[in-house]
Amino acid sequence: MIREADIVLPYGVIKGDIAIEGEKISALGNVSGRAKKEISASGMLAFPGFIDAHVHFSLPVSGTRTTDDFASGSLSALFGGVTTFIDFTVSAFGGTLADNIEARLSEARESVADYTFHAEITSWDRKRSWEIESAIEKGITSFKFFMTYEDSGRRTDKGKLYHAFSEIARLGGVALVHAEDEELVKYFTNLLIEKGELDVKLFPKSRPPIVEAMAIEDALFLARETGVNLYVVHVSTAAGAEVIRKGKMDGITVYAETAPHYLVLTEGDFSELVSMCPPLRRREDSIALWEFLSKGVLSVVATDHCSFSPEQKKSFRDFRRVPMGIPGVETLFPLLFTHGYANGRLGLVKLSEILSANPAKIFGLYPRKGVLSVGSDADIVLVNPSREVKLEASCLHSKAGYTPYEGMKLKGFPNIVISRGEVVIEGGKFFGNRGRGKFLKREVSGS
């Protein structure tokens, strides 16, 4: 039993108790009687466990692999209050979607947080339609495409996207896109190649905002034509978010995500260590992204956690070879709580929507996950809202060995994290068994 918490519910914050039986929430409000274990949460906020809808643990890329595997990545997630994460299957080694799902399930066995995957698709052809159906049978209902990265063989062209989107629409799934226009990326990259300007610090010049906005336009046209539910990952620019706003106004079913780094860092922070794709943008973009979040044009903040060590990042200077991506799963909530809520940009209910309810609804996990309600999984994050921490990478649990947010003063690090009724984090310690995380089988909406 959690006593006297300020409980963040979909319609407001109420003071009350949360009763847990087994893995589920059994009562909310003023709950009478005594329980076997009682937690006094007076002065603490109680949020539904956060869902990071975009992480890459154990990702092979650029001839290397991320430092975080599923054990360390999911532990880092729990310390940040992320009780559920969505990773991606890996298509680099060929195989059917079903093969890729089985391989990833086996890699994820050591996870301590609950999880599911988006199925990554990189070499679509029309004979593969049946694979979407088989993935859905396995509980994987969202499918990720890259509109760029041709050189590494990951790009899907528009004709193939059209066909794949049609199939996903027919079966009720969600199509995710990494939206960057390949022709524009090539144009801007070639300008840099001609001048020999390939240092990683110049990477942002290869992808100005038009690259993102034009690709999102294309994806929206395809979504309108095919009727697919579209989800645009890591939107980084005001221009891109504006295209999404117009698409929504036109009645297209499109959801969009941004990442904490696009909200709290800007182009001057981009460096060999703090390098990711899409790159960091101007201050005007981050200000606009907060606005788009508060207005509901952007529905989700997810981290794109992709952790490489400083040694891995620094082993190349040429931006075409640097493994892109930064760690972030553990700082997701503290960054949003500090820079979003404490700075007056987002209310508590909105914050909870963005980090729990929305990703759960979009990806078929609601109401099992994403909300504090009777019958839902007892995934609960208790936070003392006034406790502030000066961030140091050594206090985090990712194996990256650095954080892009070093030295920032952040509120919102959880005091207690409960996952399916089990206190897994308390007093800065993990209590739980390796491999306790569960794979979450999802269903398409309407089935």
Chain residues that interact with ligand URP, rule: CB under 6 A: 56, 178, 276-277, 304, 306, 324-325
Of positions 181, 304, 377, 379, contacts Zn ion by CB under 5 A: 304
Find which of Zn ion, ligand URP, none residue 325 binds, CB within 5 to 8 Å per kind. Answer: ligand URP
Residue 223 Cβ vs ligand URP, minimum distance, rounded to whole Å: 20
CA distance 342 to 432: 31
31: which 2 tokens?
């709950």
Residue 58 Cβ vs ligand URP, minimum distance, rounded to whole Å: 13
Smaller CB distance to Zn ion: residue 278 or 334? Answer: 278
Which is nearest to 118 in space by CA: 345, 270, 304, 269? 304
State yes or no: cis peptide before 208, omega within 30 of 0. no
Contacts of 392 (CB under 8 A, 6+ apart): 403, 406, 407
Smaller CB distance to ligand URP: residue 328 or 364? Answer: 328
Q: Which stretch binds Zn ion (CB under 5 A): 12-20, 147-155, 303-311, 386-394?
A: 303-311
330 lies in the site for Zn ion, by CB under 5 A: no
What DSSP string runs through 127-143?
Answer: GGHHHHHHHHHTT--EE
Smaller CB distance to ligand URP: residue 133 or 272? Answer: 272
Which is nearest to 379 in space by CA: 355, 411, 409, 403? 355
Residue 417 Cβ vs ligand URP, minimum distance, rounded to whole Å: 26
Residue 1 Cβ vs ligand URP, minimum distance, rounded to whole Å: 41
Find which of ligand URP, Zn ion, none residue 241 binds, CB within 5 to 8 Å per kind. Answer: none
Q: Which stretch binds Zn ion (CB under 5 A): 57-65, 152-160, 170-178, 354-362?
A: 170-178
Find which of Zn ion, ligand URP, none residue 324 binds, CB within 5 to 8 Å per kind. Answer: ligand URP
Residue 214 Cβ vs ligand URP, minimum distance, rounded to whole Å: 17
Question: Which residues on neighbouring strands pair with residue 5, listed in sequence order?
Answer: 16
Residue 276 Cβ vs ligand URP, minimum distance, rounded to whole Å: 4
Provide the angle, in degrees to the nearest 10, between the axes of the packed helices 158-171 and 129-137: 40
178 lies in the site for Zn ion, by CB under 5 A: yes
What DSSP string runs through 229-291?
Answer: EEEE-----HHHHHHHHHHHHTT--EEEEE-HHHHH--GGG--SSS--SS----HHHHHHHHH
Alpha carbon 28 to its chain centroid, in Å, reads: 28
Find which of ligand URP, Zn ion, none residue 397 binds, CB within 5 to 8 Å per kind. Answer: none
Q: Which residues bind Zn ion (CB under 5 A)?
A: 178, 304
